[in-house]
Structure 1
Amino acid sequence: MKKIILIVFCSLSFFCFGAKININILDTATVESRAIDNILKTIEAPKVSKNVILITNLGAKGDSKTDNKPFFDKAMKQSKAKKGAKIVVPAGVYLINGPIHFVSNTTLELQKDAKIIFGTNEKDYLPAVLTSWEGTLIYNYSPLIYAYQVENVAIIGEGTIDGNGKDGFSQWYDKQKPAQAKTRDMNLKMTPVKERIFGKDSFLRPQLVQFFESKNILIEGVTITNAPFWCVHFLKSENITARKVKFDSQNKNNDGFDIEYSKNVLIDDVDFDNADDNVTIKAGRDREGRETNMPSENIIVRNSRFKGLHAIVIGSEMSSGVRNVFVENSTFAGYCKRALYLKSNADRGGYIKDIYINNVDFGEVEDAIYITSFYKGEGEGHETDIHNLFVNNFKVKKATNAGIVIQGYPTKKVNNIVFSNVKINEAQNAISMTNTENIIFNNVTIGKEEQIPSSKH
């Protein structure tokens, strides 16, 4: 096991919210606190309507057999007519053969012991709707819960959303490659979006929950399980609150929250248990992402418990850029392969900057912190600018592979990274850095911390 103890004090200039600030690295906590306060002032959860629609009064049955889609569709129509309503789902198991399409000013409340479970006949999720798949806009099967161009919407309660992915769409994983490659080719050629028609026979799995071009969003309290693809996808949306959500989703690509082209997001007090990433921050893929120019920004993740593949990920589809991300006061609920993972390659372009990690603890991981400009070893001509990452009060019990890895690009080095008060008790390899500039270590211990030296000759 390699060991390293580094103590360095230094100051630097960096950008935060567009203003250049000269600051000693020990003062970043003040800047971080002020920035978080400013973001929180912009985020307000939607108000719940006083109009109540009890789904069972419309004929719905929580018997796990009745197809309740007609009743959920009727409830949404009534909410639209009333200019807002709370749709209440009492205890029971409600089969829904097809998607739920949200309307504005609507809250879906899943009460304790209520579960909605989606049918597995892919035809029920057609016609295709405008959505996104791995960073490229396409027409595809409808997400199971789809909120498109709406505002003031919420999913709340102590119930469960079950995507039934294991017995349904998740079985398509091994069949998706031809259509997946086609989406990427359309992206690079900038094929008109109206011509990007997938759906039938494409085998591109839909997201479980997607908010698209929407604002004033709340998801609170519910348990999310068995997703066919990504669990919750915030796409080109803003003013988002996600709190006290519980994940238990173990299929392939079952990310918890995917935040894409979105801003002003609070993720608070969440329990993660995902077969893939817990929180992934994205901003479009390759040429389409660069030309869209809609960064994901002003994102706070706090007071949460991580378990799954990777805890916090930025990339790899982040071509519009990611900035102003704050992760604080969180810990682990189990194994994560990587605690912090920033990934891009020379096909992406864009930037990752102004990222703050503070007061976060992990148990056993493979790599504690991994930053790479060579994701999958792909790409040329569009290197990503990665700079201004501040990691403070960061602890890991054991890294079976590496403590800190930074892989910049020869023509665009990773720069202005500050590690302060970092302790990794054990690591097979302590630090690996290539193509970097201005990497600062302040009170960093990887391996066993040495004590007072022996006075013996």
Structure 2
Amino acid sequence: MEGHLTRFYFFVFSLSIFLLMGCNNIQKENGSREEKIAEILTHIRVPQIPGNVLTLTDYGAVGDSLTDNKAVFDSVLQLCKEQRGGRIVVPPGIYVVNGPIHLVSNVCLDLQKGAKIVFGTNPADYLPVVPTSWEGTLLYNYSPLIYAYQQENISIIGEGTIDGNGEAGFSRWYDKQKPSQQLSRKMNHEGVPVEDRIFGEGHYLRPQLIQFFECRNILIEGITIRNSPFWCVHLLKSENITARKVKFDAFNKNNDGFDPEYAKNVLIEDIDFNNADDNVAIKAGRDHEGRKVGTASENIIIRNCRFKGLHGVVIGSEMSAGVQHVYVENCVASGYCKRGVYLKSNPDRGGYIRDIYVNNVAFQGVEDLLFITSHYHGEGEGFETDIRDIHIDSLTCRSASHAGLVIQGYPTKKVRDVHLSRVYIDSCTTALSFRNAEHVVFNDVIIGDEVKVPTAVR
């Protein structure tokens, strides 16, 4: 009998602990926006800058805009690997690098003011192919220009510039890429093993400028990024990332600023964007592969930034594994942006977009201020996206030449639970265009001139 009682009390005690843990989880899930952001920030720590300093010119580098410094970078990075870390200081000068820089763990690349790295334009220098991704499909391709694979504790800092030299090089491949682009998507849909998806020579998929693939503890701070051949900074299957005080000057095709993909715990703050494409585009894989991988992009904070370019903040369109817990705070735009906040998917994708918070963001002239669509490019079938729990508070613009607020759900998967508060648009052509949307809540929304006290009958 005593044994039965002991087991009974243990069961009650365990059940109490389980219920208490459940209550705590519910409380955490239902916490305020500020509490959720604070919780995410506890998981983001910048890597420690190594004390072991290696000045690049001490190892034979020449910043004369002519000498190839690829071999010097390779040898200094090998030294850092042997010494378990190091701070590679790049003094003022223009350093040509004919080939990729492959970063290793516990390294800081410190570009001093007046220092510029300019990459060469010979595609063969970026072979052999490496594991990477292209528009949401994992494959092997030309190496990104700065690349880290399965590394940790890496910093790229300083007041210098990284120039991808895209306009004179890889960017010219844009008009040749379609056959390889379509082949990559076919391999994705058919589940071809990643190790058999070999691109590179004979194909025309442009490499990213900077890519961290399956890395953790990353800092990118202070540098200027310009002239990228493709996406500027691709954060692929990586976590614990801080990007701050970065400046963009990137006007080639598909020159997105930051592309977190299958990424977790990301802080993007105090950035000066000037991109020919999306400033931030949050992704999570394409179609069949994204749904199979199933790793959401989540816990992403974008704050105190200055937007300029095609679109401000974008989620999608490659987001099949899901995107959640995104916080956009205290940002402003200078000049024209085609779309301010853009959530896009289509019925090829599946997945979800949920728990998105946009607070205190101001645009000037846009084509559309807020655009949520399940019909991107009007294509696809069979895998509708679940878009819900979107919270917009204090979103403004002076003029929207096309539309103020657009929601385009899918008949079998409506966009739902959208909360719009303190949204002010001074002027626009179409105020609202909602289709297949439900539970859309308005609070203090003014589009056009505010209607004040009604006039009296005279």
For normalisation by structure 2, the TM-score amounts to 0.94
- Runs in 1 of length 4+ with deviation above 2 angstroms? 17-23
Find the aligned partners of 1:125 and 1:351 in 2 and give their Cα distance: 35
Find the aligned partners of 2:299 and 2:50 in 1 and give their Cα distance: 28
Aligned length: 435
Deviations 1:216-274 (A, max 9, x none): 00000000000000000000000000000000000000000000000000001000000
Classify 1:368/1:95 alpha carbon distance in 2 versus 1 (closer, same or farther; 3 Å): same
- SS of 2:295's equivalent in the other structure is coil
The answer to whether structure 1 residue 112 and structure 2 residue 110 are counterparts is no
The answer to whether structure 1 residue 300 and structure 2 residue 301 are counterparts is yes
**What residue in structure 2 maps to residue 146 of structure 1?**
147
Find the aligned partners of 2:29 and 2:194 in 1 and give their Cα distance: 44
- SS of 2:42's equivalent in the other structure is helix
- Correspondence list, 1:342-381, <5 A: 342-381=343-382
- SS of 1:425's equivalent in the other structure is strand
- Correspondence list, 1:152-167, <5 A: 152-167=153-168
Find the aligned partners of 1:241 and 1:127 in 2 and give their Cα distance: 30
**What residue in structure 2 maps to residue 123 of structure 1?**
124
- Correspondence list, 1:230-245, <5 A: 230-245=231-246
**AA paired with 1:37?**
A
Find the aligned partners of 2:301 and 2:326 in 1 and give their Cα distance: 6
Find the aligned partners of 1:53 and 1:447 in 2 and give their Cα distance: 59
Q: Name the structure, 1 or 2, with higher relative contact order (CA <8 Å, separation 6+).
A: 1
Find the aligned partners of 2:186 and 2:29 in 1 and give their Cα distance: 44
**AA paired with 1:302?**
R
- Correspondence list, 1:168-317, <5 A: 168-317=169-318
**What residue in structure 2 maps to residue 102 of structure 1?**
103
**AA paired with 1:280?**
A
Structure number with larger C-alpha Rg: 2
Find the aligned partners of 2:171 and 2:25 in 1 and give their Cα distance: 42
Deviations 1:119-158 (A, max 9, x none): 0000000000000000000100000000110000010000
**AA paired with 2:289?**
E
Find the aligned partners of 2:426 and 2:314 in 1 and give their Cα distance: 22
Find the aligned partners of 1:334 and 1:350 in 2 and give their Cα distance: 33
Instruction: Structure 2: state its 5+ residue gaps.
Output: 1-23
Q: C-alpha displacement at 1:335, in angstroms? A: 1.1
Find the aligned partners of 2:78 and 2:419 in 1 and give their Cα distance: 52
- SS of 2:204's equivalent in the other structure is coil
Q: C-alpha displacement at 1:18, in angstroms? A: 7.4
- Correspondence list, 1:405-444, <5 A: 405-444=406-445
**What residue in structure 2 maps to residue 332 of structure 1?**
333
Classify 1:361/1:114 alpha carbon distance in 2 versus 1 (closer, same or farther; 3 Å): same
**AA paired with 1:354?**
D
**What residue in structure 2 maps to residue 4 of structure 1?**
none
Instruction: Structure 1: state its 5+ residue gaps.
Output: 1-16, 24-29
- SS of 2:80's equivalent in the other structure is helix
Q: C-alpha displacement at 1:333, in angstroms? A: 2.1
Deviations 1:337-374 (A, max 9, x none): 00000000000000000000001100000000000000
Classify 1:78/1:22 alpha carbon distance in 2 versus 1 (closer, same or farther; 3 Å): closer
Classify 1:404/1:227 alpha carbon distance in 2 versus 1 (closer, same or farther; 3 Å): same
Classify 1:262/1:22 alpha carbon distance in 2 versus 1 (closer, same or farther; 3 Å): closer
**What residue in structure 2 maps to residue 37 of structure 1?**
38
Q: C-alpha displacement at 1:456, in angstroms? A: 2.6
**What residue in structure 2 maps to residue 6 of structure 1?**
none
Q: C-alpha displacement at 1:20, in angstroms? A: 8.2
**AA paired with 2:230?**
F
Classify 1:198/1:22 alpha carbon distance in 2 versus 1 (closer, same or farther; 3 Å): closer
